[in-house]
Structure 1
C-alpha cells in the first residue's frame, strides 16, 4: 500500500500546479557539446518547435547522441499540445526536474510507457502514460553543392525528457466539411504552435436565432472609437504626462501603395488611461497597441480591435486580412493576467464562417460586424458563410449569428 501511494505522489509531481519557482526553462542557454550556429524552423508551419543547427558534428560528440531520426520516422512522431493551464514539468529518467512546458506548447513524443496510471488532480481523475519527449532538435549540415545542404537530424541525450501525457490534448481535429468547428490554423497560449486538437475542447460554438437572446444581452459592442490627437500631413504627435512625445508618421513603400502603412489614434472606452494606436498595413490584419498616457509605455498589443468582456476578464478579436482580395478571417481570445495585461489564450482561422460584409449601393461592401456579450465568457457575433477565395459582393451569404462560450 505504501509503495502504491509513493507512485501516486511521484506522478502528481508531473503537474506544474504542485511545484513553484523550482522549474528550469525548456530552452535554456546551456551550451551543448556541438557548435550551435543559429536557430531555424523545422518546417514551414508557423510556430514550429525550435531546431538548432550545427555546421559540423565532431567525432568525439557522437557519443552524446541519443538517436538519429530519418525523415520518414520523423513524420510519424506523435505531436501533441500541452493543456495544463499552469504548465507541465519535464523530468529526466531519474525524476529530476529539467524543464517546463507552458500551456499550448507543442512537443514531439518518441514513445510512451506500456502501462498507464490514474491520478487525481484538483478532484479530477486523469488517466495517462509517461511520454518520452524531445526538448531540442539538432542536425548536422552537409554541403552537397553550392547553396545546397543536406541535413541529418538527431536528438542529443541531454535533450530527452519525460512527462505525464494526461496533461496533453489528443490530436483529434474535427475535419468534417460541414462542422462549424472546422479551422485552418489553431494556436493555444502565448508560446503555442500549430495545434491539431478538436476546437470543441476550448470553445462551444452554436448557430442561433438572435431574437431568442435579445433580452439576455449585457452589452453590445461595435467599433466606436473616441477621437484623439488628429493627423496632420500624415503625422500624429502623442504627448504624455511625463513630458515626452511620440511621433507616428504614415509611410509609403516605393509608391506601390499610398500609404503603405498608416496610423490612427483614438481613446477606447475600456482603456481610459491609454491611447489606442491603430496601425494599418497592406496584407496584414490591423494592429491595435495600447499606450499609457502617463509615460508612453506599451501595455498591450492586439491583432484587431479589442472587444472587452463586461468584467474585463477577456478580450475578443475578430478581424480579416487587408490584401486586394481579402478573405482570411482571424479569431482570438485573450485573457487578463495577474499584471492586468492581456495574453493570448486561443487563436484560429475559421473555415466554416467568415467576417461579415454586406453589399452596398456602390457595388462595394460595408463592414457590418457586431459583438454582443451575454456573460463574461459568452458572446454572440454576426458572420457570413465561409469565403474560400475572394469576397464577392454579389455572392455574399445572408448574415447570421453564432454564439460562443469560452471553455478554458
Structure 2
C-alpha cells in the first residue's frame, strides 16, 4: 500500500512535535544537574478549623484537586496558650484509630506539627478536650502518589532499570535494607506554595541518618538556605517505605554537619508527635574501614520515590576526577540520592550515591557514569570536627 504525501507529512509533524515537547519537558527537569532530588506530592492549603462544637474533619483527595493519592500527611497547629491539653485521633476511612496525638507543649503546638503519613486517599481527624474558645487548625497537607510523576531520567546500564524490591532478595539483603530510610521533606517555593521532594538516607548511628547535602534543598532554593529550619521541621523519615503494611516514621532533629563539597549531611532523628520511640529504629549500617570495593557493589534506594529497591550486580567502573569520589554502574534515578553503596561481600557501606549520568541542558548523555562519595572521605571530613566526634561515637570510632 502506498501512503500519500499528506499522511506522511502529518506523521512527520506528529513525530517532530513529540520530540519537541519531550525535549522541553526534559529540559525543564534541569538535566544538566546530576545531583537530583525527586519531586513528590501535592501541597494544599486547607485552613480547616476544629473546635469543641465541630471536632471532626475528613480530608481526602478531593481536597487536593483530585491529585493521585496513595497517602496523606497533615500540618496542624492550635491557638492555645499555657499548659492546656487536648487529644487528636487520626482515623482511617472507616474510623479505625491510626494514631493518637497528645499536646506536648504550647510552643510546639502553636508553631505547628505534622502527622505521620497515613496510607489511603482519606484521613479523618477528631479532637477531644477543647474549651469553647479554643481551636485547632488543619493548616494544610500533602497528598502523595504511589510514585513520583516527574520525568524519569534513568542512569541505567540498559533502557529499562535493573532494580528489584529489596525485601525479595534474601536474608542478607534484608538486613542491609532495614536501616535505609525514605527521606521526604518540603519547603516554601518562590510562589509561596509548599513543594516537597524525596531522597534516600541511611542510619549510621543509633539516632542519626546520613544523606546527601543537596537533599536539604530544591533547585529553586538558594544553596545558603539548604537544611534550614523549615526543611528540617517538615522532614519525614520512613524506614518501611517498602510496599508492606506497617510503618516506621520519624522526623528530623538537629543538623550535625552539612558538607556541600563532599555532598553529605548528618542529621539527628526525632520521634513524631504520635510516632514510635527511637529505640524502635533498626540496627545502623557498618561502615567500611578501607578503600571502596571495585566489584560486587549494590545500592538500596528509593529512586523515583518508589518503595525500597535494590540495584545489584554492579561495580566501580572508573576513578572519578576527584579522589574523594568514585564512579559506579549501579542503576539509579532521581530519588536515589543519599543511598548507601554496599560492598556485597561483607555488607559494609563503601560510598554514598550522589549523582547520576552527566547530561547537557537538553538531556543528551555526556558520560554514562553514576557517582558516589567514598565513605572513608565522608568519615574523615566529619570526624575531624570535635562536635561530630562527641555526638557520633559509633561512626567516628570514639565509642568507649
Q: TM-score, normalised by structure 1?
A: 0.23
The higher relative CO (CA closer than 8 Å, separation ≥ 6) is in 2
Which one has the bigger helix percentage? 2
